[in-house]
Structures are given as C-alpha cells and as structure tokens.
Structure 1
C-alpha cells in the first residue's frame, strides 16, 4: 500500500508531466494562430488573442487537473492507461473544437470598401455567395488575410439591394459577389486617403504613436507627405490604416478611431 503522501507525490508528478505536454501543444497551437491566422494587428483588431487564450487556458488546465484526480499507482496498469487515454482524447477533442472556433472567426480579407477598410472574417462571409466571387477568390484563405476591394455597383438596383443587406448585417466587404483585386481600387483609395499630418492634427496626443508605427513598419524613411490614412472597421473596433499614397501599399495600423 502506498502512503497518502506518496500517493499525492505520484499524482503531482504525473499531473506536472501532463501540464508540460499540454503547454508544449498550446505553444504549437499559438504558433499556428498568431503567426498564420491572426498575424499582428489582427490578433488585436479581431479579438484573436482573447479568444485563443480563453480556449487554450481551459484546455491546458482541464487535462492536468483530471490527471491529478484519477492518477493512482494502486490501480491495475491497464485501467490506469485507459483513464489517461480517455483524458488525453477529451483534451484533444476540446483543443480541436477550440481551434475550429478560432479558425471560423479568423480574418480572411482586408477589404477597401468605398471609403474605408474593413476586416472581413470567415464567419462574416455568406457561403451562398462564394460561387459568385471571381474564380480565384472562391476559397477563403487559410494562410492569413489578403487584400481586396469592393467593385462599383453595376446598377441602381444592385446598389439598393446591397445597401439593404448591409443594414441587416451583411457588410459590403463581406460579399464575395462584390470582391475584386485590391489593385483595381487604387484610384479610389488614393482619393479617399487623407494626409497623415491631418490625423496628427486631429489626435495630437497620439502623434508619437503614429510616428512609431511608421518607424516600426518600414526599414526605410518615408516622406511624411507620401503617407495617408484611411479609417478601418472591424467587428466592434475601429482602427486606422496608414498607406503610401503613391502606391496604396498598406504601411501600418494604429488603434485610432478616425471615422
């Protein structure tokens, strides 16, 4: 018979090993989520960080606690192995469901939408409209968000229908039937972009933050006059996109509501 202190020592040891393995798996999952699905700044804009931490915290805590509860060296070996296998399967199932939830909510496109940028998430896109997108855009990317734009309306009727759908919650940028390449909207993007100096004037207390974002995003010094800004909308947050007004290249993002 094992003493009570010896039994708890074995349980803590087994639970500690399980915790280490769980943290290793969590680290690999974090690499997938934050390096591929939610690269900066989308982990902040789209809530990827908080969603992933909620999922992974529950998963990492659940497995080791169950091991601590059931591990007993006095059990027959086959029974102990079965207990640990069931715990492992439950933990993997919870992790798979959590990652699926994160994947469904992942950002898939940064879309220029008439007068703003919009972060579009996989769950925002009506699946019945995907077949009406250009052929190359009918599959939502798994390797991080891409840049697109919304084309001009073909008729007044289409403008009315899409506007009514937007009122009901389907944003223009989330409609595959309106998608076109980012390059096709360059004239509109240039026309909409306002000088970054204007943004600094509107938010003088954030000027240093804007300069730091530009400095961090580029290895070369850009002329201030060639940088413009366009508002950005997401689910429940509003940021600002800084672009090169000569090329419409996206340079940086700042957490400022510039609408």
Structure 2
C-alpha cells in the first residue's frame, strides 16, 4: 500500500471531524436558546429577520470548524503540534461565533413603539446612541430580554412636528428616536383612540378569517375584548392584537391590514 495514502488516516480524520461537529452543534443549540428564547421571542424571529441572520452565522461556524479539523487532523503529528492546531481552530470558531452573535444582538428588537396610528418594531441598531440620554427615565437603556412597549409623545409645537416629519421622510422613524419616547401607559388614551375593533379587520380582510380566528384564540380573551393596529416591520406589514383593558399586545398575525 502506498504509505502516503495510508498515512492520511481517513477514518481518524472523519471521527475527529464528527466529534467536532457534535460539539459545535451543542454550542449552536445554546446560542439558539439565547437568541430565540431571549432576544428574538416569537414573533420577532420572523418579523425582524433574526432567524435568517442567526442561521447564516451558525451554519458557517458549525460547518467550517469540523472541516478545518478534518483538514489538519493527523495522528502522525507530534501531540503538542496537533493540540496547537486544534486549539487555533476552536479559537477561530469561537471568535466567529462571538462576532456573529454580536451582530445578531445589535439587530435585536428592543421596543414595540406606538407611532400615532400604528405600531413599529424598533431594533437596537435603529436607535441613535446620542439621543438615548434624552429619553425619559426608565428608557435610557435598551432592553436585552425582548422588546418592550413604548409610545411616541405629543409634539411640543409645530416646528418640532415639522422637523420630525422631515426626518421620518429621510428614514429616521419616529419610534426609533429616544427623545420622542414616553411610557406606553402615559399614551393609553391616544393608543385606544387609534386602535380599531377586530370586526373592522374582518371586514377589511374577509379572506383572512381563519388566520384571525387563530390569533384571537392565541390572545386568550374574547374577540370583543380585543383591538388591533397595523404593525410595521423591516420586511413587511403585520397586524397586532391588543387587549382593550391594558392595550398590551397579546397576538400577532402576518397580515397587512391595508
């Protein structure tokens, strides 16, 4: 047998790569629990694109590490050299995962903001850091445990309204500006006035009756106790159902109400 072929030791390399792949999958599972259980709870993993971004990061990381192990693993190498090679691969893999998780974290949803006649998902990357100091007390830091509801306050005067409108036309959404935030509870009267009964949604979208039935069931309260608002996301329009009593969001459906 050709010694150069036998020294390649295919079974050992496959075994090492398989072990590395299993360990990588365990780490990926832990990362997924953090991302989808804390940063992107349902429905934000779909609304905010968290699933696609995380899948891309983890797929590259989980595939690349075992492939590199397969390429460098050789029992004929001195043990210190083999350990060094494997350690470098693991460090590169962990660095890649950390960078990917950082990107996912910076894109995480932090607030569900009421913008006068709609709700908008606000992501950490959307919020100008220089304006955070001007946010009301309790809203100066961005949450890490899923989005919380906030509201856009009343404009102080016509000049501010004009400035905000021009900025919004330029891509600076009102709901992403900390200087315009106020607590969700403080805006309850205006939110209630802007929301509509579910019956109007059924009239607007009769073909979506089955999906709406599922959302109402998920909300856990009678339909008569619910209201709705359009929900603006990065990639599409959804609909959010709110409880009448506290106006908190209780169900979402991937439906453009208009």
Shorter-chain TM band: over 0.9
Residue correspondence of structure 1 range 32-181 to structure 2 within 5 A: 32-181=34-183
- Cα distance in 1 for partners of 2:217, 2:201 equals 16
Cα distance in 1 for partners of 2:94, 2:138 equals 34
Query: Normalising by the residue count of structure 1, what TM-score does the alignment of the two structures yield?
Result: 0.95
Q: How far has the Cα of 1:6 moved from its partner?
A: 7.3
What SS class does the counterpart of residue 9 from structure 2 fall into? helix
Matches of 2:198 and 2:130, distance apart in 1: 39
Deviates more, 1:158-167 or 1:85-94: 158-167
* Corresponding residue of 1:207: 209
Partner of residue 234, structure 1: 233
**Equivalent residues of 1:193, 1:245 under 8 A apart:** no
Return the offset for 1:2.
Answer: 8.7
CA contact 1:2–1:74 (8 Å) conserved in 2: no
The 1-side partners of 2:105 and 2:80 are apart by 37
Contiguous gaps of at least 5 residues in structure 2: none
- Structure 1: segments with no counterpart, 5+ residues: none
Count of paired positions: 256
Provide runs of 4+ in structure 1 moved above 6 Å. Answer: none
Contact 2:216 2:222 (8 Å CA) reproduced: no
TM-score normalised over the length of structure 2: 0.96
SS at match of 2:199: helix
d(CA) in 1 for partners of 2:163, 2:243: 33
Looking at structure 2, the residues matched to 93 and 6 of structure 1 have their Cα atoms a distance apart, in angstroms, of: 29
Q: Tell me how far 1:223 sits from its aligned partner.
A: 2.9
Alpha-carbon deviations, 1:166-192, whole Å to 9, x = none?
Answer: 111110000000111111111111111
Q: Tell me, in whole angstroms, the C-alpha distance in 2 between the residues paired with 1:236 and 1:164.
A: 22
RMSD between superposed Cα atoms in Å = 1.4
